[in-house]
Amino acid sequence: MNESHNDLIDNPTPRCPVALVLDTSGSMYGQPIEQLNAGIQLFLDEVKRDDLARWSVDIAVYTAGGAADCIQPFIGIEQVVGFAPLDADGETPLGQATRMALDDLEARKQSYRDAGMPYYQPWLILISDGAPSDAWQDAAQHARALSAQLKLVSLPIGIQGANLEVLAQFSSKPAVALDGLKFRELFQWLSASMARVSASTSSDASVQLPSMDGWGSI
């Protein structure tokens, strides 16, 4: 973890940690996973183009396809070169992937505190086209409690076929249904949201986010 510690010293900008938890199970095969891959790359490119967000956003990426895996531990988005394209295979252990993300978010916040660095409310973005195939209730309850306490922006997003009632358990706010496969629009919205967060003057202020109308509905 020396790299991230040095990064926190070298770049003292207030941080916004973002954990992406992505369903990469077999049902995502074909167009969905291709569009998801393209959306993630667009997100990286757009955030890096924003003069403030490129230094503020820390990202980690978790996949739930067959097994739960962290494919990118927390790192400043400016340092991310790119990701190998995600493959779709297996079951959907979203509970385990979410647990990993929440644990890592907590550890990342502690590293900010240790470095005396201000940070914005962390984000958890959960994207699935189904429902978890593992024990998920405790992870969902944890994310929902943090969301209710305004200690986490938890955004569950359901692709067509997703169980929105289950996904909604991961947040104190409703799950959002993705319109078709509008991953580009979703990640454009997310990058615009990151730009607004990183430009806000207070790390605990409630930031007015862009409208989701272009990609989702509640």
Digit-coded pLDDT (tens) for 57-113: 999 999 999 999 999 999 999 999 878 899 999 999 999 999 999 999 999 999 999
What's this model's pTM, rounded to 2 decimal places? Answer: 0.93
Domains identified in the chain and CATH numbers: 15-135+142-149+181-198 (3.40.50.410)
Half-sphere exposure of 43 (CA within 13 A, CB side): 28
pLDDT at residue 2, as a whole number:
39
User: Phi then psi for 181, rounded to 5 degrees?
Assistant: -120, 45
User: Which residues does 39 contact at the CB level (< 8 Å), separation at least 6?
Assistant: 183, 184, 186, 187
pLDDT at residue 83, as a whole number:
81
Average pLDDT over residues 202-212: 72
Helix (H) or strand (E) holding 17: strand 16-23
- Judge contact between 176 and 214, C-beta under 8 A: no
pLDDT surpassing 60 at residue 190 = yes
pLDDT surpassing 50 at residue 1 = no
pLDDT at residue 8, as a whole number:
65
